[in-house]
Amino acid sequence: MPSSQMSDLWFETRVAAESLADFVSGARLRLGVTGLSRSGKTVFITSLVHHLTRALAAGRKAHLPVFRALAEGRIVSAHLDPQPDFNVPRFAYEEHLEALTSGEERHWPQSTRRISELRVAIEFKSNAWSLRHIGQETARLDIDIVDYPGEWLLDLPLLGKSYAQWSHETLEAASAAARAPIAAEWRGATVGVDPKGRYAEQSAQKLARLFTEYLRLAKTERFALSTLPPGRFLMPGDLEGSPALTFAPLPVEEGEELPYRSLGREMERRYEAYKTHVVKPFFRDHFARLDRQIVLVDALAALNSGPAAVRDLENALTDVLNAFRTGRSNLLSTIFRPKIDRILFAATKADHLHHTSHDRLEAILRHLTGRAIARAEGVGAEIDVIAMAAVRATREAVVRHEGEKLSAIVGTPIEGERIGDDVFDGVAEGAIFPGELPDDPKAVFRGDALALDEEEAEFRFLKFRPPVAKFAKDREPLPLPHIRLDRAMEFLVGDKLV
């Protein structure tokens, strides 16, 4: 048997063994939380955990009416427990909660840059006949929340691509009108390189540096592009400077024989090392063990940047769904080959729009994921799409302007945000008229969909500070306001609390 097949067999065996260990350990749900940069993953997890652990103590059941187990009074308690994986960093829940609720110093917590984990233990009144038969009225569910950057998820398709195929796709994408200006320096350096020429470390490092700078520029708010693997190039961690992160695409043909010690051969070796030492361990140790998944999407950022960013986001979301092992779980698949049987796509920052546009935001996201959802639903996965805000930073108001009543959102814009010549100081509130999203979700792909220049785009989608927190008698912060967080909770875990 070839060594590659032996490696794949060993890989699958480890996945099955770890899945079996998860199954026999008890009632547990592994919930993956991901999304591309600045989509709100950290805020979502912090708000979710805070609502679960504080809702009963704060007597705020009415704030999660769609989350049935809580609304019906069946949750007895919820608390944090030590996480099961000792080799995974703990999600810094307490630190992030303090950032959101620290009075005048409140701010949004730092974005996800690595994998982390947190366990929430829920005790609830069970309807299960097997438990009632032995006189046990309550059951326990451990929810292991796994937080990871969405860019890592977009690396999974690389497992099925050769270096030549990835290089061709990456170079072709960089020639598109939306990317060509920011890729010019890197592409110019690549044109003058002979992949069959002798390898030199200086050349490899220069190409990798220019390629990484192109990826970094593409991620900025000005362009808001999404499909940018390899994901670790912008989040290197302790791999920074390693050969596994020092490669770049070159114009090589599939099946082309590259000379020993040529630059192309070395780039190919490093690409394969990236797959072996970065992508496969993430898939084996974390992704393949997930039961449920929420994918957070900052669609407003793409809309701000224009149709090219929207199309790129659609491609990224298609790649995301293609990466999942979708399918309805059964006993054997739960033990030996877990499959994610529920996936929720959530358009975040719904509080940046008036509620009359929430359905339109949801329709846009559903359209962006339409191709991939049809394929996933065909094999039994249950998928939903919502517009939400895990923490609501604004409130709605009706404002009179020149004798006309206008629907506005009111909040405290982050210092430096501007409307025209007016710059906010991070203290004063502002009433913003965000406008309406188009009725037809297909319109966002057309050049004149929103007819916005940069100033108008900023006017529509400002950034706001977190709301001022309220505190209970025990001086602990009460759960922050949200939009449809309870709907997300019900879809992701509600069926496990019966």
Q: What pLDDT sits at residue 362?
A: 95
- Give the list of residues 6+ apart from residue 449 with CB closer than 8 angstroms, or none: 307, 438, 443
Listed ranges 290-294, 317-321, 374-378, 384-388; the one with the highest mean pLDDT? 384-388
Q: How far is residue 101's CA from residue 391's CA, in Å, rounded to a whole number?
A: 11
Q: Is the pLDDT of residue 450 over 50?
A: no
Q: Is the pLDDT of residue 6 over 60?
A: no
Is residue 348 a contact partner of residue 298, using CB atoms and an 8 Å limit? Answer: yes
Q: Is the pLDDT of residue 482 over 60?
A: yes
Half-sphere exposure in the Cβ direction for 181 (13 Å, CA) = 5
Report angle CA 370, 344, 385 to the nearest 5 degrees.
50
- Give the list of residues 6+ apart from residue 247 with CB closer than 8 angstroms, or none: 204, 207, 208, 266, 267, 270, 271, 274
Instruction: Return the higher-pLDDT residue of 21 and 376.
Output: 376
User: Can you tell me which residue has the tokens 């998820």?
Assistant: 153
pLDDT in tens, 295-307: 999 998 888 888 8
Q: What pLDDT sits at residue 338?
A: 54
pLDDT in tens, 230-256: 989 988 878 889 999 999 999 999 988
Alpha helices (runs of H) in 175-279, residue ranges in sequence order: 180-191, 201-219, 263-274
- Give the list of residues 6+ apart from residue 189 with CB closer than 8 angstroms, or none: 206, 207, 210
Q: Which of 215-219, 440-444, 456-460 has the lowest mean pLDDT?
A: 456-460
pLDDT in tens, 344-362: 999 999 999 999 899 999 9
Q: How many CB atoms lie within 10 A of CB 222?
A: 13
SS3 402: coil
The mean per-residue pLDDT over the stretch 58-65 comes to 71
Q: Which of 16-25, 39-48, 250-259 has the lowest mean pLDDT?
A: 16-25
Instruction: Return the higher-pLDDT residue of 497 and 13.
Output: 497
pLDDT in tens, 216-233: 998 887 777 777 789 899
Q: What pLDDT sits at residue 7?
A: 56
Q: How far is residue 64's CA from residue 490's CA, in Å, rounded to a whole number?
A: 10
Q: Is the pLDDT of residue 9 over 90?
A: no
The mean per-residue pLDDT over the stretch 410-419 comes to 90
Per DSSP bridges, beta strands 138-147 and 292-297 are unpaired
Q: Which two tokens stand for residue 141?
A: 């569910």
The mean per-residue pLDDT over the stretch 473-491 comes to 94
Q: What pLDDT sits at residue 18?
A: 54
The mean per-residue pLDDT over the stretch 372-398 comes to 85
Is residue 497 a contact partner of residue 75, using CB atoms and an 8 Å limit? Answer: yes
The mean per-residue pLDDT over the stretch 405-434 comes to 88
Q: How many CB atoms lie within 10 A of CB 274?
A: 25
Residue 457 binned pLDDT confidence (cut-offs 50, 70, 90): very low
Q: What pLDDT sits at residue 448?
A: 42
Q: What pLDDT sits at residue 377?
A: 62
Instruction: Return the higher-pLDDT residue of 445 and 60.
Output: 445
The mean predicted confidence, pLDDT, of the chain is 85
Q: Which of 63-67, 339-343, 490-494 has the lowest mean pLDDT?
A: 339-343
Is residue 388 a contact partner of residue 346, using CB atoms and an 8 Å limit? Answer: yes
Instruction: Return the higher-pLDDT residue of 401 and 212.
Output: 212
- Exposure string of 289-298, with b = 16+ CB inside 10 Å and e = fewer, is bbbbbbbbbb
pLDDT in tens, 115-171: 999 999 999 998 765 555 455 678 899 999 999 988 888 888 888 899 999 999 999
Q: How far is CA 124 from the centre of its chain?
A: 29
Residue 333 binned pLDDT confidence (cut-offs 50, 70, 90): low
Give the residue among 341, 330, 278, 246 at the shortest CA–CA distance from 30. Answer: 341
Q: What pLDDT sits at residue 182?
A: 92
Distance from first CA to last CA of the chain, Å, rounded?
48
Determine if the peptide bond prior to 230 is cis (ω within 30°). yes
Q: How far is residue 142's CA from residue 81's CA, in Å, rounded to a whole number?
A: 9
Q: Which of 114-118, 264-268, 331-335, 427-431 has the lowest mean pLDDT?
A: 331-335
Q: Which two tokens stand for residue 157?
A: 């398709």
**Which sign does the torsion angle of CA 199, 203, 205, 211 carry?**
negative
- Strand order through the sheet with 75-81: 75-81, 116-125, 138-147, 28-35, 292-297, 342-347, 382-387
In the chain, the domains with their CATH numbers are 3-148+286-390+480-496 (3.40.50.300), 161-278 (no CATH), 395-460 (no CATH)
Amino acid letter at 375? R
Q: What pLDDT sits at residue 460?
A: 55
